[in-house]
Amino acid sequence: MRSSRARRPSRSLGILGKTKLPRTIASRSIILKMWPKKPDEKAEDFAYADDPEFSTIRRKLARWAADNVHIIKDLKPPQPPDFNNRLNANWKLLLQIAQHAGGGWPEQACRSAIYLSRAPYEPSVGVQLLAALRAMFTKNRTEITSEQVVQELVADPDSPWHEYCCRGPITKNQVAALLRDYDIRPVVVHPTKRADFSRHGYRAAQFEDAFARFLPHEPNIRTLKSGREKI
């Protein structure tokens, strides 16, 4: 008898067999969302790769690329706002081709780049925590205790922090463990003469570098609710 384990689908598969890409791959990709046809929708059968029409298109594209590569490689099209690093690398060549094509193509390519680059992946738990802490520090605070961090994280019963890792509310130690990945560690924020009474927490200055590197400028990241709300 076969083991039931062998018949289980991959955990990476979601609804309709959609594969959830790892963040490192998704951030280096241009994601195109595709939906299945409704029963009453019609579409032409997809031709095979060796179809004569496809062969002609491939030949023309190869010739066009060979004739224009020396021009395209030197073009410097304007980048959409906040298109830096990987996002810029993903779209650079396509925006260069659009600029070379002229007409309305540069503007259309820019709009498409912005639309298709809207967070194709869910942020990591660490990035969600950074976003939550940034929101806390915008309340005219320069420091916050570890107890206050946990209290505000679990204040919303629908937040992922209220039932963290299916083990109950997130704890101070779990918060500290997540922040260690960003070289951020608790410090004494309310010192007393007795070390065991001193309260630990975080200062806003500790997060300046992490906020700049891991959180986008616009819009604000929010922590996810119920696993379906993306940012």
Is 215 in contact with 131 (CB distance < 8 Å)? yes
Does 167 lie in the same domain as 111?
A: no
Does 67 lie in the same domain as 17?
A: yes
pLDDT of residue 2: 42
pLDDT of residue 103: 93
- Residue 185 backbone dihedrals phi, psi, to 5 degrees: -130, 150
Does 162 lie in the same domain as 65?
A: no
224 in a domain, yes or no? no
1 in a domain, yes or no? no
226 in a domain, yes or no? no
pLDDT of residue 192: 56
Does 175 lie in the same domain as 81?
A: no
220 in a domain, yes or no? no
Q: Please identify every stretch of the chain with a pLDDT value under 70, giving residue numbers as ranges.
A: 1-20, 46-49, 119-122, 191-198, 216-231
Does 164 lie in the same domain as 107?
A: no
pLDDT of residue 217: 58
pLDDT of residue 231: 32
Domain C-terminal end among 77, 94, 121: 121
Q: In sequence order, what are the residues at sequence separation of 6 or more whose Cβ sits closer than 8 angstroms to the Cβ of residue 203?
A: 142, 143, 187, 189
41 in a domain, yes or no? no
Alpha-carbon distance of 132 to 160, in angstroms, equals 11
Does 115 lie in the same domain as 16?
A: yes
State pLDDT tens for residues 160-209. Answer: 898 888 788 999 999 999 999 999 999 998 765 555 556 899 999 999 99
Does 147 lie in the same domain as 67?
A: no
What's the domain range around 163? Answer: 125-214
223 in a domain, yes or no? no
Domain tally for the chain? Answer: 2
Domain C-terminal end among 121, 153, 177: 121
Question: How many of the other CB atoms lie within 10 Å of CB of 133?
Answer: 24
Does 182 lie in the same domain as 158?
A: yes
Does 132 lie in the same domain as 55?
A: no
Length of the chain equals 231
103 in a domain, yes or no? yes
State pLDDT tens for residues 149-161. Answer: 999 999 988 888 9
Does 162 lie in the same domain as 75?
A: no
